[in-house]
Structure 1
Amino acid sequence: MKVVILLFIFCPLASSVIHSLKYFDTGSSHVPNFPEFVAVGMVDGLQMFHYDSNTQRAVPKQDWMDQVTTGDPQYWERETGYMMRAQQDFTTNIETAKQRFNQTGGVHIVQFMSGCEWDDETGNINGYQQHGYDGEDFIALDLKTETWVAPTPQAVITKLRWDLDKARLAYLKNYYTHVCVDWLKKYLQYGSNSLQRTVPPSVSLLQKSPSSPVTCHATGFYPDRIVMFWRREEEEVHEEEKHGELLPNHDGTFQRSVQLLVDLSSMKSEEWQKYHCVVQLSGRKDDIIIKLDPSQIKTNWKDPATIMPIIIGVLVAVIFIMAAIGVAWYMKKKAKRPPPSPDSGSELSQQLNLMLHTELSLWTRWGIKQTSVHNSGTCQLKIIH
């Protein structure tokens, strides 16, 4: 009986893929160097549409969007018109929200997210519309009950008014459960080369300092359905790890990380290597497994012994540059003086030797030792280890 239950739990999850079509609109006031209104469309996490109040143009962000709009030359003009009206609505919404929260000036942000999800195996469909204000939930649509949910008292007025609009609720339910899903399937068909591809991640081990947690970082992967975790030998260590957020890259791929919250400073290297970072990407059969090898960890921290030769090299270069500047200064000053007397013919080498002795006395205290200074003005340096 236990075997049957395990098969029931794991088999469907391994092959089921939930696709999504989402739109994100953001209106803001008094935010420096940022458009007052921005709208983007995403299919399975890949941006395919963009509009902002600076350009005031709706534009495609994927080449395959041209196929979607074939035979409809006014498509982007209509989208631009929709977005310009939405921009005006957001300006009004910000002022309304400020009144509800008894606010006057300052920076304020109104956010709107809508879309649908479709499970390509079970056929299950889910739609949503959510509104936020200054980073907090304001009001959201519950499609199952066809009502609005107001988590804050300031949104109750809106909820009561919108709940009474049954025609609009019926329209939204039909849109999110049928129209939106039809568009999602169309986008998946035309953008199949991009949306249904599998790009494996590049996985690295990172550490800020010897006392910091080790981070397993995966980047450059697609799709965004990824599972990452640490394990010690064959046992997962869920209580000793911390997961980072899924973040988009500029090229349409994604990145994510998971930290190992284990104090490794007192462990030997062979104990470290019992830990592994495991990365599982949807569409890829084999797991990516990275052993926690100290020699493979990338870090900005450097052992002082490893950078000392670089520091000494820079100091040596500074000595000779200063010597050259001194010579040039002396020659220029000498040119303005009367001709030297016969008994001062070695003045240049004497002055240069004196200057070098003075400079080298400082570097000696920093780990550079003078071994000889000749009358020619050249010197030899020896590194003190």
Structure 2
Amino acid sequence: MLLCIAQLVLCTNLIHALRVLRTSSSQVPNFPEFVSVGVLNGLEILHCDSEIRRTEPKQEWMKRVTEDDPNFWYWTTRLCVDSVQTGKENIEKVKRRFNQTEGVHMWQWMFGCDWDDETDDITVYLQYAFDGEDFIYLNLSTESWVVVKPEALITKEKWVKSGAIQLAKQYIHKVCTVGLKNYVRYGEKTLKRTELPLVALLQKSSSAPVTCHATGFYPDTARLFWTKDGHEVLEDVDPGEILPNGDGTFQTSVSLDLSSVPSKDWDRHHCVFQLFGDKNKHVTRLDQSKIRTNGKNPPTSIITAVVVVGLIIIIIAAALFYLPLYRFLFLHLSHS
């Protein structure tokens, strides 16, 4: 859900982002061999894995999908079940090509599309990766497969012969041109809401950087930054990723190294949270008496520490979406 910023002027056109990430793994303890996660604007909407072997809605409003596609749960479940075996075969083939038949490995593919609800433009991503590194992807502009690793040449040759690009285009039309717009319509109330975060100042020790931590906000299109005397601080800052909390909201943080700043000047600094498209800024002054350290346990509402399989999968999927190396494709009728 990316909103544009040009010369510090906020733009309000909304990009709706759909990602379908599917992961086949080998020798990963306490983790399903196959996991499929559908995420819309940062919210998990669909889930299936090799243990439950069916596609399930993760948002109540996704149950409306049968209004437009009566067979949706049937074909997505069939796709998931078929992918369990297909993924297992693919990861074994790729492992042999890399001569890495032992140890933990992952074969991942991501299908994604971004829809601008003002211009109606749609951008599509189709990419595969092995062990966290790009393997092969589809360039829709030239309608050709682009090989990233030499080991993917065999895959490209097979897909060219089988006409996999045409199958991909059919899937794109079904999911992006039609499906994505329907999903946004079903969840309009949820997707267009805004929630402000709970902000806390954290510090591991008296000599460590001060971290401004914001949690519980929505949507994920937001900025968290430090200012001094009203001007944004660009040096000695370490921004964190925006991550899901598992309850439909997000968290992020930004650290500021104050080792060279006199204690008396600390209160000239402020942590600022701002949702893109919102002119309002939510400011927290750097008050040394309000900083939580290891000796002062932060409240559970600030630090998310719930560890369940579903949340782990969500966090893994979200992390993959945000890191450049982890852009992957799922093309359901293709084989490596």
Distance 1:158 1:262 in 2: 52
The TM-score with structure 2 as length reference comes to 0.81
Partner amino acid, structure 1, of 2:97: R
Compare 214-223 and 232-241 and name the one that shifted more: 232-241
Kindly report the root-mean-square deviation, in angstroms, between the aligned alpha carbons of the 2 structures.
Answer: 2.1
- Gap change, CA 1:184 and 1:151, over 3 Å in 2: same
Structure 1 residue 168 displacement after superposition:
3.0
- Which residue number in structure 2 is paired with residue 77 of structure 1? 74
- Which residue number in structure 2 is paired with residue 138 of structure 1? 135
Match for residue 247 of structure 1 among 243, 258, 271: 243
Match for residue 144 of structure 2 among 136, 144, 147: 147
SS of the residue corresponding to residue 64 of structure 1 reads helix
- Gap change, CA 1:73 and 1:120, over 3 Å in 2: closer
Indicate yes or no: 2:263 matched with 1:268. yes
- Gap change, CA 1:31 and 1:68, over 3 Å in 2: same
Distance 2:148 2:233 in 1: 36
Indicate yes or no: 2:297 matched with 1:300. no
Match for residue 92 of structure 2 among 92, 95, 103: 95
The TM-score with structure 1 as length reference comes to 0.71
Distance 1:119 1:73 in 2: 26
Moved over 6 A (4+): none
Alignment of 1:1-385 (within 5 A): 9-11=7-9, 13-70=10-67, 74-165=71-162, 167-173=163-169, 175-176=171-172, 179-263=175-259, 267-269=262-264, 271-282=265-276, 284-301=278-295
SS of the residue corresponding to residue 87 of structure 2 reads helix
Structure 1 residue 73 displacement after superposition:
5.7
Structure 1 residue 234 displacement after superposition:
2.4
Higher relative contact order (CA 8 A, sep 6+): 2
- Gap change, CA 1:170 and 1:80, over 3 Å in 2: closer
Partner amino acid, structure 2, of 1:289: V
Amino-acid identity (%)? 49
- Which residue number in structure 1 is paired with residue 314 of structure 2? none
Specify the structure having the higher radius of gyration (Cα): 1
* 1:243–1:257 Cα contact (<8 Å) kept: yes
* 2:11–2:277 Cα contact (<8 Å) kept: no
Distance 1:239 1:83 in 2: 47
Distance 1:283 1:177 in 2: 30
* 1:230–1:275 Cα contact (<8 Å) kept: yes
Compare 180-189 and 20-29 and name the one that shifted more: 180-189
* 1:117–1:181 Cα contact (<8 Å) kept: no
- Gap change, CA 1:77 and 1:164, over 3 Å in 2: closer
Compare 282-291 and 112-121 and name the one that shifted more: 282-291
Partner amino acid, structure 1, of 2:179: W
Distance 2:74 2:202 in 1: 47
List alignment gaps of at least 5 residues for structure 2. 297-336
Partner amino acid, structure 2, of 1:93: N
- Gap change, CA 1:124 and 1:104, over 3 Å in 2: same
